[in-house]
Structure 1
């Protein structure tokens, strides 16, 4: 895993990353349900779980990896599975490791985004490109020559794609992790959550003023309950392994941070003091989770929401 120095000022005040592993999508797709494949992230930072859903007449790719090299690899894997079927591409949200390989699919697939994600890409895409390039030379190398690609099809709240014997529902569900979060449900049995859910990783509530202040942690909790109500047989998180009770674990974590932040705020703790206390306790409670540097982001987000109420 890479290490993140939250005290070091990176671009626009964002932490720099040290000892970074090349964020490459790699390995063979694994069938997690009939016709639904995942290229696992292998717990490599800035590598998402990539989905490929193959129907009788068409196939859908979910997320591309970061940069054109990853996008080309994902397209190759999709072609191996889909053969000569038409391809669709969608991304769970606009963040670079999920969608900045889309240029490989331009002209090779029909690209479908929700309107909120498309708009967020327009507002923040260039800023995120610069920010991620500044995190590490390893990441910058994957982002050279990136083109931000507009979708071919844009929907507002939900959309269905009939792949032939397989129905995929795309649902715009943000703001939470991002303003344009989207979940993908395959035949009511497989759910792709994007970074609304990760397995054994502390969640990030992005707060990078002035260009990203849209994460809404209070709303995120309610969305996790909505995702649980779907009763999907398989939940594919944005990062980390496919496992049982991943959504429950995330909801419990958010409930804990909200309750602790509220308690500490009432006791007169500053935002910094509250975050520091929560970091110490959360690292002990969830000792097997990666990315503890993200704990203060969620704690501070709840503190801001309390102050704004």
Structure 2
């Protein structure tokens, strides 16, 4: 799996919609490296690690999660190092650890709204053997904001209000003017449609406009400049 250089310190992989593998980020400092999201399965994690070795990049000492959704977290079990998540994310992962993966349980979670048909379809594709699913919580959790010094470059983990989920965290790399969004910019699946909550999108937009970044790395789309991202989301807001 190819790690694309984006800035002096930051690399990323492209998303793969076939099994809903998101873009993963990587920040390399002089003292340590940090992975932005863990992948959606051990198989995904193994490919990411192989790509790092091929690129001559060290495995990360830190693995940080943007939110609890399966495609960003179920690969956590394949990584060593210190894992980090917001308190809300870790609480959700604790509940997911108790989930059963037989057909009846998966169907019931769709009916109750705990999960979506979109996720169900892609989990089945990623995991032909659902007995291989292993959910882990992060080793450390935080509330509000956390700053990590990697040596010559820092990563700021910040909880934000998002239209996508109630536990979203974005990662800011101030030295490079880069913001890793995960899925914080996304809408949510409702039946066969993807729908924004207008109030939450407006609050997220207000936060974004106050952040000083030049490049935004999106979980399921190519990176964008700040102006382009803001314009895109404002168009979505005005259409609601």
Normalised by the size of structure 2, how large is the TM-score? 0.79
Q: Bigger radius of gyration, 1 or 2?
A: 1
1:152 aligns with one of 131, 135, 139 = 139
Using the alignment, how far apart are the partners of 1:123 and 1:75 within structure 2? 28
Is 1:36 the equivalent of 2:10?
yes
Match of 1:192 among 154, 161, 180: 180
The alignment of Structure 1 onto Structure 2 pairs a total of residues equal to 217
Report which stretch shifted further, 126-135 or 221-230: 126-135
2:44 is aligned with 1:57: no
- Given that residues 127 and 133 in structure 2 are in contact (C-alpha distance below 8 angstroms), is that contact kept between their aligned partners in structure 1? no
Pick from 51, 57, 64 the counterpart of residue 90 of structure 1.
Answer: 64
Structure 2 unpaired stretches of 5+: 107-114
Distance 1:195 1:78 in 2: 23
The reply to whether residue 135 of structure 1 matches residue 121 of structure 2 is yes
Unaligned runs of 5+ in 1: 1-26, 198-202, 209-214, 258-309
Contact 1:41–1:49 (Cα < 8 Å) also in 2: yes
Structure 1 residue 140: Cα displacement? 3.4
Instruction: Identify the structure with bigger relative contact order (alpha carbons < 8 Å, sequence gap 6+).
Output: 2
Counterpart for residue 81 of structure 2: 109
User: Which protein is richer in strand relative to its size?
Assistant: 2
- Counterpart position of 2:222: 241
Q: How does the TM-score come out when normalised to structure 1?
A: 0.63
Asked if 1:165 is matched to 2:152, the reply is yes
- Using a 3 Å threshold, how does the CA distance of structure 1 residues 156 and 28 change in structure 2: closer, same or farther? same
Q: What is the rounded CA distance, in whole Å, between the counterparts of 1:141 and 1:157 in structure 2?
A: 37
**Higher relative helix content:** 1
Offset at residue 142 of structure 1 (A) = 7.0
Shift of 1:234: 1.1
1:42 Cα deviation from its structure 2 partner? 5.0
The whole-number CA distance in structure 1 between the counterparts of 2:121 and 2:221 is: 21
**What does residue range 1-309 of structure 1 map to in structure 2 within 5 Å?**
27-41=1-15, 44=18, 46-79=20-53, 80-83=55-58, 87-105=61-79, 108-124=80-96, 130=106, 134-135=120-121, 137-141=124-128, 143-174=130-161, 176-187=163-174, 189-197=177-185, 203-206=186-189, 217-244=198-225, 245-257=228-240
Q: CA 1:171/1:109 → structure 2, altered by over 3 Å: closer, same or farther?
A: same
Q: 1:241 to 1:86 in 2, by over 3 A?
A: closer
- Contact residue 103 and residue 146 of structure 1 kept, 8 A: no
Report the CA distance between 1:224 and its aligned residue: 2.1
